[in-house]
Amino acid sequence: MATVLPDSLIEEMEQVQETFGKATGQAIVLTDQEGNVFTRPVATGAFYEIILTSLQDLDHPFKPTLRRLGSLSHPVILEEWIAGLKYVIIPLFPGYGQTYYLWAGVYMEEGTKALIMPVFEAKMKNHPAFAQLKKELLAQPELSLEQVAEVREKIAVLGRILCKLLSGCAATSGVPRIGEMTSRLLTGLEKDYLKVQEVLQQLAASSSAGDLYAFAKENEDGRFQVDYAAGKGAPLLLNAVFQQGDGYLGQAVLGKEPRHWRTPAQDPRSLFFTKCGLPQPEYLSCYPALIYGGRRALLLAVGFSKNEQVQSYDLEEQLVASLVGLSDRGEKLMRREELRKEGTLRLKEAVRQLPQVTTYKELGSVLLDTLMSMPFSPSPVLVFFMNQEDAESTYYSRGWTGAEEQLYVKDLEERYSPQAFLSASIINEAAGERYLLECPLIAENAFKGILSVGFRQQSEAEEWRAFTECIATLAATAIRLLEKDSRYTKHAGVFLDNLRNLLQDTYPGLHRVSQEASGLAYDFGRYLGLPESDSERLTRSCLLAPFQLELLDEYDFFTEEILLLKQVDRLSAFYFDIEKPLLSFGAQVLALVLQHTGEREQGRRR
């Protein structure tokens, strides 16, 4: 026999559904066990409005699914309509033999839209509003796994609220505030994340059962610390710490369900409060919550006098704990996304800069600059190169004291060698409560060094591990390029020496003249303000000047020097022309040097 629900209760449930619909962006429908809709469906957008309107034209559209699923005991996730478009059905058991079902959806997970659209078009192409439906679906966002979990948890909270309202608690003195307060909190969530201190102050100032409310979070070391408190004696409880399993609070964090104790003053487990300077409580309620990073938290409701209405506020406080946990996770996730976007920009800049470095010193400097500009503010940072440059280990660092730096470098030299090294990064817990993420630099299957980045917390090191490993991979690529350039330079030097020896044996005069020109070119270039590298390029161009350029082209060495010589050759072709081709500044200097040296040699012969 169906239960008759009062209009006031239906209206209150519709208000709560509307609030959660806006908070989740999902369509929400509430049916009885026969599939009859008895509250106003919530449609948060044109796509849902069209779909729900189409369903109203069908005879009992929800009944076949419920009949096929049978008696549900837990929520189910379905994608029967269109593969990839998911919705959830949550059974509600108010306790008087009737079962209700909360339907919420649809959503699509990240990366599935491209697969969903062809199926949707094939199935819905004959719908009168197909064009608009397709447009609206294309505009629907794809949800990451974290966003999906957040939406599902909000829907689960809605299910608990509706179940409590349906069970008849709307008639008690405490519950009329449930819809009001949760609606207010959810409305706040739509605009911004919840401020825990303000939520606790609202609870403490209301007609709720508690005299003191507090919120404790799990720290990195596994202990719990009270970070927020409001109400009677709140300052005394702030920053208080308790261990898992220790006392009432330590026992409460071991489970997921609320824990309630009445008249705990006679129990030694209540000494936590007296040690903080508070009177012994008459009752205590603890509500576990889950916050960002999988860490646990606890909402405390403490009463210092007897109150017969305590049980009436149980659901409200439990919902507040859930919403505060949701808000914390949402806020941290959003902040993490912002930081990751900033980190990605730094990573893109590193992709551009690192392959362009020409020395290990420059590589170390760019790596330090890149890491120190990362949004996680590392401290300290050290880049260690093994057996590079003069066969000695070198390193570059920031944020270390001299003594610490020397000890750490010695430790690295003892733990890593070209014959014994790790191929994956590790987190090394160092003195001073620092966690050093050590990423090996491996190029061509050989160990080249270590990129070490310091973090304040191990969880922070884990969170930014992938980013740091990417930078280490880029550094290894830069090392490969440096080694390749070094080999190229060495081979080019051997090639030039052989050419010069051949020239000295066959044309000693030409060898002497080109040698003089090379020295003059370097001095003249430096005098004119050319960089060291450009002046050395002029030197090599003079040494190569006696040889045929076609021959030099075949060996793929000294391409820039050959280009300068070709420009000078083009200039000589226009010797009698008034308008001569434009030359680069380096080519002009080279032309002057070669002309001056040639004229001086001719003068000697006269």
Helices marked H in 354-395 — which ranges? 360-372
Average pLDDT over residues 521-537: 88
Considering the domain boundaries, does residue 344 fall inside one? no
My answer on whether 74 and 141 are in the same domain is yes
Task: Tell me what percent of the residues of the chain surpass a pLDDT of 90.
Answer: 16
* Packed helices 585-605 and 508-527: angle between N→C axes, nearest 10 degrees: 140
Q: How far apart are CA 150 and CA 127, in angstroms?
A: 32
**Looking at the structure, do residues 193 and 167 belong to the same domain, yes or no?**
no
Do both 309 and 361 map to the same domain?
A: no
CATH number at residue 129: 3.30.450.30
Q: Where does the pLDDT of residue 387 fall: very low under 50, low under 70, confident under 90, or very high at 90 and above? A: low
pLDDT at 377 over 70: yes
Last residue of a domain, one of 138, 171, 204: 171
Spatial contact of 37 and 14, defined as CB atoms under 8 Å apart: no
Identify whether residues 302 and 447 lie together within a single domain: no
Query: Could you tell me which residues come within 8 angstroms of residue 83 by beta carbon, excluding any fewer than 6 positions away?
Result: 115, 116, 119
Q: What is the pLDDT of residue 190?
A: 56
Q: How many domains does the chain have?
A: 4
The answer to whether the CB of 591 falls within 8 A of the CB of 583 is yes
Residue 118 confidence (pLDDT) = 92
What is the rounded CA–CA span in Å between residue 298 and residue 288? 5
Q: Which of 137, 171, 205 is the last residue of a domain?
A: 171
| Residue 470: domain span | 357-484
pLDDT of residue 338: 77
511 inside domain:
yes
Nearby residues of 417 by Cβ (< 8 Å), 6 or more positions away: 386, 447
At residue 120, φ and ψ (nearest 5 deg) are -60, -45
- Within 10 angstroms of residue 285's Cβ, the number of other Cβ atoms is 26
Binning pLDDT at 50, 70 and 90, where does residue 262 land? confident
- pLDDT reading at 391 higher than 70: no
The verdict on 469 and 326 lying in the same domain is no
Q: What is the pLDDT of residues 466-488, one digit of tens each?
A: 889 999 999 999 988 888 888 88
Q: Check residue 102 and give its pLDDT.
A: 94
pLDDT digits (tens, 9 = 90+) for 83-99: 899 999 998 877 665 78
Pair 152, 73 in one domain: yes
- pLDDT at residue 265 tops 70: no
- CA–CA separation, 100 vs 212, rounded Å? 36
Q: What is the pLDDT of residue 577?
A: 54
The Cα 212–Cα 237 span in angstroms is 9
pLDDT digits (tens, 9 = 90+) for 206-226: 656 578 999 999 988 889 999
SS3 27: strand
CA 567 – CA 564 distance, rounded (Å): 5
409: domain CATH number is 3.30.450.80
Q: Within 10 Å of residue 583's Cβ, how many Cβ atoms?
A: 16
How many CA atoms lie within 13 Å of 353's alpha carbon, on the beta-carbon side?
Answer: 17
- pLDDT at residue number 576: 52
pLDDT in tens, 197-211: 878 887 777 656 578
* 488 close to 368: Cβ distance less than 8 angstroms: no
What pLDDT, in 10s, does the model give residues 305-322?
A: 765 544 444 666 777 777
- Together in a domain, 206 and 293: yes
Between 382 and 7, where is the model more confident?
A: 382
Does any domain span residue 463?
yes
496: in domain = no
What is the separation, in whole angstroms, between the first and last Cα of the chain? 127
Q: What is the structure's pLDDT at 438?
A: 93
Pairwise pLDDT comparison (53 vs 4), residue with the higher score? 53
Summarised one tens digit per residue, pLDDT across range 16-68 is 899 888 888 899 999 988 888 888 999 888 888 888 888 877 878 898 898 88
On whether residue 448 sits in a domain, the answer given is yes
Mean of all residue pLDDT scores within the chain: 83
Q: Which of 178-182, 373-377, 440-444, 542-546 has the lowest mean pLDDT?
A: 178-182
Cis peptide bond prior to 106, omega within 30° of 0: yes
Q: What is the pLDDT of residue 441?
A: 92
Question: Is 494 among the domain residues?
Answer: no
Do 378 and 302 lie in one domain? The reply is: no
380 prior amide bond cis, ω within 30: yes
Residue 158 and residue 14 share a domain: yes
> Which residue did the predictor score with more confidence, 335 or 509?
509
Query: What one-character-per-residue DSSP string does 501-556 give?
Result: HHHHHH-HHHHHHHHHHHHHHHHHHHHTT--HHHHHHHHHHHHHTTS-HHHHHTTT
Q: Please report where in the chains the tokens 């014959």 appear, as a residue.
A: 419
Domain final residue, candidates 171, 206, 233:
171
Residue 492 lies in a domain: no
- What is the predicted pLDDT for the residue at 176? 40
**Both 162 and 219 in a single domain?**
no
pLDDT in tens, 128-177: 899 999 999 999 999 998 889 889 988 988 998 888 788 764 344 343 44
Which range has the worst mean pLDDT, 80-84, 261-265, 293-297, 339-343? Answer: 261-265
**Which pLDDT score, from 0 to 100, does residue 171 have?**
40
- The answer to whether residue 325 is domain-embedded is yes
Q: What is the dihedral of CA 186, 190, 193, 195, to 10 degrees?
A: -50
Question: Is the pTM higher than 0.95?
Answer: no
Calpha distance 366→350 (Å, rounded): 8
Residue 173: per-residue pLDDT: 38
> Which has more confidence, 185 or 235?
235
- Residue 226: predicted pLDDT: 94
Residue closest to 23 by CA, chosen among 156, 203, 138, 201: 156
pLDDT on residue 510: 87
* Res 423: pLDDT: 81
Q: Are residues 18 and 161 in the same domain?
A: yes
Asked if 211 contacts 302 with a C-beta cutoff of 8 angstroms, the reply is yes
Higher pLDDT, 268 or 546: 546
> Are both 381 and 514 inside the same structural domain?
no
